[in-house]
Amino acid sequence: MKTGMRLVLLTAAVLAVICAALCIGPTQLLDLPKLLALLGGSERTPELERAALVLWELRLPRVLLAAAAGVNLALGGLLLQTIFRNPLAEPYLLGLSSGGALGAVAALAAGATATVWPALAGSLAVAAVVLLLCRRRIASDLPSLLLAGVALGALAQAFTTAIILRFDPGAMRSILFWLMGSFARCGWNEVWMLVPAALVGCVLVVLLHRPLDILALGSESAHHLGVRVRALQLGGIALAAILAALTVAACGTLGFIGLMAPHIARRIVGAGHAATAPAAALVGAGLTVVSDLAARSILAGTELPVGVVTGALGCVFFLALLLRKR
């Protein structure tokens, strides 16, 4: 089957998952005929009015945000796996999740009610420090960059834990729920922040597909073939950092999406970035939407953090990847 047809089928599958997520929920106010009636602008009845409230104010922004978060993390994982030539690389290796968590928790401790921008600032600060520490040796010593990210992430996590212990038990539970990844409190403001970033990120990665394909052969080979290796590495890491930071700022930490999506995409369409980038974006969106649907549907009357579901999926995938590599 040709690559274009595979992308079309993958797009159809993700759209089907999104429709299912819009229809399914703790309160069964929506089904597919009602959904089509609402989207088609049919005459409203009291029942459709209630369904419209659920759709436009609760489920649609949540599903769109989950899809955009999956796209961002998948693209970040694809970039980092190519740059580091490491199949286990993903955005959170750079400590972005811990930096975002520290920014959000510090803002709450200071009495702020909004955590989006402090979390974004924390994530970007960690990425900036990592890049500054390794700016002179990035082309020749990429493992040091990974280690610097892990170290800074651990430091940020330690500070976050220390701050959380100062909250009362009720607030502590709410903060821990957010830190584990959640779309429950997200709305259209977060959607307008994350969706454009996902679209721009996907376009940029597709435009860079040729130098990324060459870079996948190795830094020395790419340099001899005319690729500006250092600039591409710095730009790719910065883009992955921004995409992951925005995701952490909007909905907390979602592990393993950036690891799983690129590998699944390569199995579907191959290794060329022109096709892998949109395929990884679609797979990431589908995985995150399915994880969110499972998180709010597995236990009746209780919603799990989305990070619990992605962590369970990612753990199985990670172990399978290690066994396959061995």
Residue 322 has pLDDT above 80, yes or no: no
Query: Which tokens belong to 36?
Result: 């089509």
Domain count, the chain: 1
Say how far residue 268 (Cα) sits from the centre of its chain.
20
Question: What is the band of 265 on the pLDDT scale with cuts at 50, 70, 90?
Answer: very high
- Under DSSP, is residue 2 helix (H, G, I), strand (E, B) or coil? coil
Query: Which tokens belong to 265?
Result: 């995409």
Question: What is the band of 141 on the pLDDT scale with cuts at 50, 70, 90?
Answer: low
Q: Which domain holds residue 29?
A: 3-325
Residue 72 has pLDDT above 90, yes or no: yes
Return the CA Rg of the chain: 20
Q: Which of 166, 164, 197 is nearest to 68 (CA)?
A: 197
Please count the CA atoms within 13 angstroms of the CA of 117 that sit on its side-chain side.
4
Question: Which tens digit of pLDDT belongs to each residue from 21-45?
Answer: 888 876 655 566 666 666 665 556 6
Q: What is the CATH number of the domain that holds 284?
A: 1.10.3470.10
Residue 268 has pLDDT above 80, yes or no: yes
| Least trusted range by pLDDT, from 73-77, 209-213, 229-233 | 229-233
Q: What's the distance, Cα to Cα, between the start and end of the chain in Å?
A: 30
The pLDDT, as a whole number, for residue 105 is 84
Question: Which tens digit of pLDDT belongs to each residue from 180-213?
Answer: 888 887 888 889 989 999 999 999 999 999 999 9
Helix (H) or strand (E) holding 298: none
Residue 275 has pLDDT above 90, yes or no: yes
| Whether pTM exceeds 0.95 | no
Identify which has the larger pLDDT, 21 or 93. 21
